[in-house]
A and B are shown apart, each in its own frame.
Chain A
């Protein structure tokens, strides 16, 4: 073992990014490409009566105008409910209706504007609970007849339910009967956007022999292969997917959308290379966004503050198509109580169609959203019991020996140490539960929240790693992981450097992904790169070590058991002074007598998730994930009781990461998550007008946090190793966001005295809560 693990190591690609040298999808040369543009729906729900392409074809340079009538296939990763281009009906404003392919961008833009589409508007529905009422407009006539791509998805006939999951554990009725105090709260969280700074982009070309090449800003290059093959009957081996640097994903680039459309565009122009460019407005309205959520949370506890029962109902707004929404509803159900022991549990989690832009995975995979609901209710319960909210959480913190909502037995390996996190959070955040007056109409207050998350991945998700040597003895690390900002490829390099005991600068990382070259990595999602690809890299490192030892033993005339690989050299522990440098042995060894010994060392390692199961449809019992990461967060606000404006003073996180592999990089990732949570909770929302049209599809109307609005960030770690994970590390990349919206709402609820159960927490929303009149 070397020294590369546990040290602050700079990103491998740092200088590429600091010089403009890092290439993203649309930075690649496009000479010889046709340009494709989308026409999208201006209605939330409407019949398509007619499409007239004549005027569009009048634009010079137009090669093709493609509509839903040209494509029969449906797509969808879980449920095949989505047409590639709307056919007969549009189900959300922004839905792709046509593609224009033209010689250049101006021609494509002009022609798209000249396609005449005749619509007949239909009644629309914008919230999940409204979509479940009798007589609500149905988005899909027979959702249960769509092809299911997985076994555990349950679309309901004659309804807007794309899927549903239930958790039944213990006896909720008995638990509430034993409760001394019961509170019930209702919640509404609107959809919002990932808002990666790089707008999604994709290119496609099809060679004369049927080979398809897709270049895309995707978190899921290997899913692109599978889904494209499924939709268009192209053999998987004929599809090659290339992913350069990705300019932020946050889950939004996990689904397959533009790749399909670029393929369709290329296929209609004889396979010529096509570059599909969308606008920021289309990236927000047409491409999938973050889920909305409605919820009703009822918690009961005894007079010592111990939770006795929970009755939880969640209605996840997945928009017009299911995408990964059903699995977000499942993931939500699996962890629905938050990190608390609740022995008597009743939870229904429904994934509901509405005429919103469809939703997809977003940092936290539904956890930031349900955590908001649970943690707000925990605070209301603590308030009524007159118990300190942090102490209340300590009393109920989930511990080894408890079981998860899906009845997985929790132990010190598969569960982090929440109590240790809470204990550290107290001094870190300066928590004392007080609301402190600053002046006549300004107060300071804090709010806390716990978080937990497990990674829901398919039971057979895989990852792989390959290692080769350069002539100078440095190594190349090759995985299928996408570099989109989390720095995980640098972490993988640390693992390799440590295992081979070489300097981290001797590890070169292949940053871009090419599915012809890189071994499959399921998807770069769920904060699972360290666990999955990390294990693959460990195995590849062990593989290459074994080869070096075999060659070394022959070269040095000793047993391979005696061979040490350390500090860039191979030697026998019996004669440490006789060192062979890696560069002299990695490609086979040339002995002093000129004879050839051994072979070039090539490392390979594979990893597959094991032991996971689906949930029992009646009780929700099942092993959903290998482990749970836990943490505790706090936010401090300064609140103006007259203006209802506020400043966020500090935001703190203590998270059990298993082992601190790269301290600085990990703090940066956690801080980034907290920033995203603050931005989301304080100002971000998709607003819709009465016609169901998105009124905030630009960065001028959809505000993100700017510099100068950020708080003092504080991050500390707890280290409880996870068995079977490289170096004991736990998933942590998404987690900084999870408890922040709740902690902010708890802080503002404490400061204002209002019970704040909706997002975003704008001064206007607080003013309305106050009765909407100036005092």
Chain B
């Protein structure tokens, strides 16, 4: 498309960039399903499944959601969500994991 007017700056990438991203996501989907059928011990199965899920999510956020090309402020906002999520998980799990400690002698 021949354009003579002023081009607005965008994050548009070549088609191959999006296609490659999709292929990597598909490969990770195959790996996670395959790992699911391996009958791994529970803790290992969770670790593998969550590692792959976090990797897939990061790829989607960086490439499809264009965070890779966004401003520092957008990075901060995107990062803050996952930071708060980790705080919520850490505090909730610490609560449930420590409940059976009570009653603590001498307290």
Does A pair with B? Answer: no
